[in-house]
Structure 1
């Protein structure tokens, strides 16, 4: 075998590695970054972060390195912010410095910087303001957002009733319900739960959330330049994303084909009207690519996170049957068994409101938050964070901050009640993040959680196949999203319902 040609190749390889090491050491030496754990060239701190629970690894590191520290995601440094006070100071008090969106390689590959979630600067400002206004004013004909959710809640109740007290996994049904609400918001219509387009779409969304929260998903975001050339489950992310975008393109095109001059009835129609209005404006961000990626952002974020929170809610209500009984008692007193729950009922139902808030806190759905970046060289708590540096405001560390939550590892709705049983806010409640990059769909999500969960508990008592003490509520994984362990339940119709 001839090895004569290997000499130059090995020399180039050795030189490349040497330059990478020197560059890495130079960055460590010349910067005033916060301290952090020792990192390896190329790999960074990949071996020190549990890919199934990166939030837990980062919270452990904060005990040694403080509430502001640096980790290396492969060859990229990132500043981690831990605890409510630190995260609030950055995202709220200094929103101008920390308000830009950081780059996640997997998301960047899909969006290329377009859409609401991953854009910055002028584009982000235009799209976010438009989306917030459109969602706030949502109507479809004579129907409001609440009307749509109430209608979908009735469908969901009938689907649960159709299980005839047999065990089933609620994932599919809950995801269908939340997907239909996002379809109503974005496109003005809903799908039947047996529609093949909806089924394929939900399969892709579910698979992507599993992959992006898995070790493969975490590894891709640390070493994208390497994994782009390797086979593996991470490639399913981009295959599914392409198919989801094709589905959205078809829906958008049907809107274009059926456009009228009447008042826009949904997000897509409103966006198309805005495109027409700003056709001659060279600085306008209202174009086809931003429409596609904005609908992509709204649809995926609104579907999976709300569905996942509801699944956590049902699991926790079975684990703690006393909580379920107290909610049902309040439903009986305020709503009764005849009418559909309304969002205004929430003000008269402090315990139910507290229980849903505690589900959101405890489930910790987006533990790492979406990354931010600083817009300029920023002095923060004695350190210098250079412009463009990735910042991870760790939401898990806020929702589980023992300075603001007594016994944060326990599930306790009472933490949201005062001594008179009235609902009380906690400033460390940040499941939707905070500041200028706070989730634009908070109101939509809160309305869905209340109306869906109260409708289900109004009609059914939820039971597990296992005894409550045997139900495992520890996360399956907590990467991009915190996933619960698979479970089944059965629904016992309530006599009063």
Structure 2
């Protein structure tokens, strides 16, 4: 027995030392960073989460390009506008790869748009962009769907009669119906239990992807696949979502496709037929299912959470809300539906919308890239297929680009005459070849929903509430802490 114990101890020590030496050898040519531990890398140092504050502290120690280790995988972190732009804009094509995160890969089977790579990604993304344009994004088609949901939301909130409510469920249902109408061709009643379950699954998957369980799965997939936990529940919920999408696809297949397809599923089915027999085609049922899931998931959470932040910030800064009301009353004197073009007549309101996206920054540190070719970043040679994290939070809070980076200040987007001005460091949707596919849809939604709400209501704190918590809850999307608001008709 003593001999066996000694042998096991010696074996584990050998394994520990060999893993450590392997990491140190691999780190020789990489940018500097915190010393990694064997097996877990820097996961312990980062509390098993990648949060903006931790990465910012590391940048102060190691510079604007440094290395952290997730398990035995090195991640090159880019900090600040200059470093991020050099990677994802100047080297856009070279940085167009997406790391195949173990959890995301297993959740999505490597299909769709978000986590696919190479030829498959190019075909699916090009189709997605083309289809959104064909469905009227930027024209009256999609805009009218957003206007309809914005008006429905106004009516629902007005019916609450100013009582203290948590507005999050109302918002997410309205935003989910926008993308539902584009993808499925129809909206849902907000009381529909199937719809409510889809929204709940959506939120669960978003939360688990950014959790400690997600990080552990990425680092130790061979172990986590066999251990119980919330990550196992995620796979079951994802399968339920896929089954729903399959059912919707089947209904579309049974119905006669219209001469002018009016939703994404009809367009995709037509594309499958069109490319049948083409050996280079990646258009098939598995990719269709995942593309729909990608768009429904991303198209719901991001805009809905941004609008939740918007209302919270109006509570925190009532003087800014007053200025918006004053501008809206002066410019929008009729009761017609809000259009995206209205933003051009509302420079202050437009500046506030942009500042909400910058200050709240739901994307946190952004999504990792992978270079598909050897490149050099800030003097460091980065070998092909290295994971690179362009830290978007460091761009949106870069003190070289923003006068008051950690204060909510709409003046960041206004010139001295009160006209709207853009800022090249405004990258909430990232940039380059992997820029968010739904950027234009999200811009339309934020303008139309926000202006519709502010034209109709004043948002005030419930009685005896004086503190507004503007700190975030760390998930894959940075969410506000739960809050209640009284919505008063104007």
Provide the TM-score with structure 2 as the length reference. 0.95
Single out whichever of 7-16 and 343-352 deviates more from structure 2.
7-16
* 1:277-302 per-position Cα deviation (integer Å, ceiling 9, x unaligned): 00010110111111111111111001
Residue 416 of structure 1: which of 396, 404, 413 is its match? Answer: 413
Residue 199 of structure 1: which of 191, 196, 200 is its match? Answer: 196
1:131 and 1:11 mapped to 2: Cα distance? 55
Is structure 2 residue 487 aligned with structure 1 residue 491? Answer: yes
Contact in 1 for aligned 2:135/2:262 (Cα 8 Å):
yes
User: Hey, what does 2:27 align to over in structure 1?
Assistant: 28
User: Hey, what does 1:182 align to over in structure 2?
Assistant: 179
In the TM superposition, what is the alpha-carbon distance from 1:473 to its structure 2 partner? 0.3
What does 1:414-493 align with in structure 2 at a 5 Å threshold? 414-465=411-462, 470-477=467-474, 479-493=475-489
User: Hey, what does 2:156 align to over in structure 1?
Assistant: 159
* 1:136-171 per-position Cα deviation (integer Å, ceiling 9, x unaligned): 22149x960000001111110111012111111111
Contact in 2 for aligned 1:462/1:489 (Cα 8 Å):
yes
What does 1:263-278 align with in structure 2 at a 5 Å threshold? 263-278=260-275
2:470 and 2:215 mapped to 1: Cα distance? 23
| Alpha-carbon RMSD | 2.1
* 1:61-109 per-position Cα deviation (integer Å, ceiling 9, x unaligned): 0111111110001111110011111111110111122111122222111
Contact in 1 for aligned 2:43/2:49 (Cα 8 Å):
no
Is structure 2 residue 363 aligned with structure 1 residue 366? Answer: yes
Report SS of the residue matched to 1:317: helix
In the TM superposition, what is the alpha-carbon distance from 1:5 to its structure 2 partner? 7.1
> Which ranges of structure 1 fall in alignment gaps of 5 or more residues?
none
1:9 and 1:267 mapped to 2: Cα distance? 58
Report SS of the residue matched to 2:89: helix
Is structure 2 residue 397 aligned with structure 1 residue 400? Answer: yes
Single out whichever of 220-229 and 337-346 deviates more from structure 2.
220-229
1:376 and 1:400 mapped to 2: Cα distance? 29
* 1:181-213 per-position Cα deviation (integer Å, ceiling 9, x unaligned): 111111111001001111001111122223333
* 1:10-67 per-position Cα deviation (integer Å, ceiling 9, x unaligned): 66655544443332233124xx111111110011011221446622101110111111
Report SS of the residue matched to 1:384: strand
In the TM superposition, what is the alpha-carbon distance from 1:255 to its structure 2 partner? 1.3
Report SS of the residue matched to 1:100: coil
User: Hey, what does 2:313 align to over in structure 1?
Assistant: 316
Provide the TM-score with structure 1 as the length reference. 0.94
Report SS of the residue matched to 2:187: coil
In the TM superposition, what is the alpha-carbon distance from 1:381 to its structure 2 partner? 1.6
In the TM superposition, what is the alpha-carbon distance from 1:420 to its structure 2 partner? 1.0
Change over 3 Å in CA distance of 1:463–1:232 after alignment to 2: same
> Which ranges of structure 2 fall in alignment gaps of 5 or more residues?
none
What does 1:174-253 align with in structure 2 at a 5 Å threshold? 174-253=171-250
Contact in 2 for aligned 1:368/1:480 (Cα 8 Å):
no
1:68 and 1:143 mapped to 2: Cα distance? 44
User: Hey, what does 2:83 align to over in structure 1?
Assistant: 86
1:125 and 1:208 mapped to 2: Cα distance? 25
User: Hey, what does 1:257 align to over in structure 2?
Assistant: 254
Change over 3 Å in CA distance of 1:222–1:331 after alignment to 2: farther
What does 1:369-384 align with in structure 2 at a 5 Å threshold? 369-384=366-381
2:112 and 2:2 mapped to 1: Cα distance? 51
